Amino acid sequence: MPFLVLLLMCIVQTALVARDAVLVSHAARVGARIAAVEPSLNAVRSAVIAATPLDSGRLDVERESARDLVRVTVRYRSPTEVPLVGVLIGDVDLSESAAMPDERRDRPGG
C-alpha cells in the first residue's frame, strides 16, 4: 500500500510539471507575438505574465532580435510541492523559446 501511494504521488507531480511545461510554451508564443510588434522587454514580460497563471516570481523572460526574427525565451522554475516527491526530486527548470517575424515598421531595412 505505501508503494502505491508513493506511485500515485509521483504521477500527480509529473502531471503538475507537465501542465507547467504547457503553460510555459504558451507564454513563450504569446511573448513572441508581442515582441514582433513591440520592442520593449517590459511589454513582452507583462504579456507573458498576463497569459499564464504561473508564479511571476519564478518566471524569467528574454527577448532576442536577429535579422527579421524576434525570439522570446521563457524560463520557469516549476515547484514540486507534492509531499515526499518534492523532497526527492526538487524544483524542475522549464524553458521554452518561440520566434516570430519582426513586424515593427521602424526596424532597419523595414
Whole-structure pTM value: 0.86
DSSP-based three-state secondary structure for 102: coil
| Bridge partners for 76 per DSSP | 59, 94
Give the Cα-Cα-Cα angle 3, 22, 70 (nearest 5 degrees). Answer: 150
Q: What is the pLDDT along the chain (110 residues), one digit of tens a residue?
A: 888 988 898 898 999 999 999 999 999 999 999 999 998 999 999 999 999 999 999 999 999 998 889 999 999 999 988 887 777 788 999 999 999 999 875 555 54
Contact, 75 vs 60, CB < 8 A? yes
Residue among 43, 21, 24 nearest 98 (CA): 24
Domain boundaries, the chain: 2-101
Give the Cα-Cα-Cα angle 62, 107, 32 (nearest 5 degrees). Answer: 30
What count of residues does the chain have?
Answer: 110
The overall longest dimension of the chain from CA atoms, in Å, is 67
pLDDT of residue 9: 87
pLDDT of residue 109: 52
Contact, 37 vs 47, CB < 8 A? no
